[in-house]
Amino acid sequence: MRRPDSDRASSQRSTPRSGRGGQTLGERYIAGVPARIMRPRLIFMACLFTLVCFGLLMVYSASSVEALHENGSATYFLFRQLGFTIVGMAALEFIARLAPDSCFKESTLKVALFVMIGLLLLVFFVGSGSRGATRWLNIAGVQFQPSEFLKPFAIAYSAIMLDRFYSPGGNINEFAVKMLGCLGPSLLLIFIQPDLGTVLIILLAIACMALFAGMDARLIIVLAVAVALVMVIALIAEPYRRVRFEVTWNPWADEYGDGYQATLAIMAFASGGLFGRGIGNSTMKYSYLPEAHNDYILAIIGEEVGFVGTVLFFLVFAMLIYSAFRIAEQATDRRGALMASGSAVILAVQFLINALGILNVFPMTGKPLPFISYGGSSIIVSLMLAGLILRVSHESARRDEYDHRRESFAVMDESTAGVPHVRGDRPSRNGFTVFDGSASEPAARPRPRTAPQGRPQRPNPRSSGGGYNRIDLNSDPSARLRTDDQGPRVRRDYHDR
């Protein structure tokens, strides 16, 4: 049945036309993407947006006193962090949607890794540092940390190498030579800076990626033991690393010396209580706790939002990591799955190292809190890793030429089957019939076939001449069960008529 023209016109006005020009924002980015792919992507983006906004708020709260005292403006660190965040969001958008596939090929990533080796070498000549570590470069007035920017390139390159190694025809010698040749020098230079925390984070992420790719767990355990031995030697060789373990064991042994930051962080959490003092009401940021807006920003969070707010913050970050692994599960190939899972592991490990260090469960390594701590290199690299995860999600829902052709299909307002016809002389049933694919009734109905001459015709049960032989069940149940020599009584209706 046709709809009235007015209804059809109103429907056309309310429903947007297909095509890129008339598509809404939701249609362009959500419509047509399967729910199994879009659901974790939306959760990831919502958690990411929440963490970035919360990080800006906490950087302003934790740094306002120091910024006002040293720079004359309480918003000095806030506006700098906002600028870094905008750069990081641009990098995220480029990696997730705009970068061509050639940027993620082995040759391109190999060039990027050799550039990172050059920058890490340059750190030892013109780099700047503090507390005995030289980790920063200042180029054209922009200060950054090259070791942080190694993380996304190392993850992308390792995903390609692991995918190739575990594909049919993979070669262990080629895998070892390329991994050691491209990543080995960079990790060695970072270790010499010294920056043991970054080396541990990258190696742990690569080990998890190898485990996800299918490497034998026993081999990974052997490699982990070898790395642990190297770390123990490094711990013994450097006195300041031993001091950090001693502070973790008993921070109150030297509460005004080496344990000063650790004890103040514990006091900040304790003073926060269950619901905290409120955003902006921290007391430890008044020149008590050093690096309050950087490495120790989690202590300020615990003081201002309390135990409940800190747990909610942990849950949001946990949902971010969980949705990242769900995106990895929906990847179309092993390379994408390893790239997304490796990026999630780096973010999760760095978060745990910072949080456990603030809580004095693990030695403090100076690693910032992802998306929260102040620092240009930290926020930009964290958003670049998020861009790698979102790129895998977009690749999982990549549309081909057939999808674009299906978008041009439309549902017709009128039926294309033609005018319906009733089935001949029989009583009409509910419904329509189309004969031979056409909309017209056949000229004449075929006549029933007659039996040849001399052959008896089988009686038709639907004709008036009678029916088939039927057992007479009668109306008496006992009669139905009685039998005699002739068997059950049979009624022959068509002989009697």
pLDDT band at 345 (very low <50, low <70, confident <90, very high): very high
pLDDT band at 167 (very low <50, low <70, confident <90, very high): confident
pLDDT the model gives residue 469: 53
Place of tokens 């297909």: 18
Query: Which range is most confident: 27-41, 46-60, 265-279?
Result: 46-60
SS3 60: helix
Q: What is the mean pLDDT of residues 32-36?
A: 76
pLDDT band at 497 (very low <50, low <70, confident <90, very high): very low
Q: What is the mean pLDDT of residues 305-318?
A: 94
pLDDT digits (tens, 9 = 90+) for 54-74: 999 999 999 998 899 888 889
In order of 196, 330, 467, the CA distances from 162 in angstroms are 24, 18, 78
Higher pLDDT, residue 55 or 400: 55
Q: Which of 230-244, 245-259, 473-487 has the lowest average pLDDT?
A: 473-487
pLDDT band at 8 (very low <50, low <70, confident <90, very high): very low
Q: What is the mean pLDDT of residues 135-164?
A: 89
pLDDT the model gives residue 10: 44
In order of 153, 418, 426, 450, the CA distances from 460 in angstroms are 83, 36, 17, 12
Q: Which of 15-19, 385-389, 445-449 has the lowest average pLDDT?
A: 15-19
Q: In this model, does residue 270 exceed pLDDT 70? A: yes
How far apart are alpha carbons 303 and 293 in whole angstroms? 13
Give long-range contacts, CB 8 A cutoff, 24+ apart: 345-350.
Answer: 345/204, 345/205, 345/208, 345/209, 346/151, 346/155, 346/201, 346/202, 346/205, 346/385, 347/320, 347/321, 347/382, 347/385, 347/386, 348/321, 349/201, 349/204, 349/205, 350/201
pLDDT the model gives residue 173: 87
pLDDT digits (tens, 9 = 90+) for 253-268: 877 888 888 888 888 8
Q: In this model, does residue 489 exceed pLDDT 60? A: no
pLDDT band at 7 (very low <50, low <70, confident <90, very high): very low
Q: Provide the percentage of residues in the chain whose pLDDT is more than 70.
A: 73
Q: What is the mean pLDDT of residues 210-239?
A: 83
pLDDT band at 307 (very low <50, low <70, confident <90, very high): very high
Q: In this model, does residue 46 exceed pLDDT 90? A: yes
Q: Which of 27-36, 105-114, 163-172, 188-197 has the lowest average pLDDT?
A: 27-36
pLDDT digits (tens, 9 = 90+) for 14-28: 444 444 455 565 555
Higher pLDDT, residue 89 or 237: 89
Centre a 10 Å sphere on the Cβ of residue 429 and count the other Cβ atoms it contains: 9
Q: In this model, does residue 356 exceed pLDDT 50? A: yes
Q: What is the 3-state secondary structure (H, E, C) of 290-305?
A: CCCCCCCHHHHHHHHH
Higher pLDDT, residue 61 or 472: 61
SS3 229: helix
Q: Considering the entire predicted model, what is its pTM?
A: 0.75
Higher pLDDT, residue 43 or 5: 43
* Average pLDDT of the residues of the chain: 79
Higher pLDDT, residue 1 or 198: 198
Q: What is the mean pLDDT of residues 413-436?
A: 52
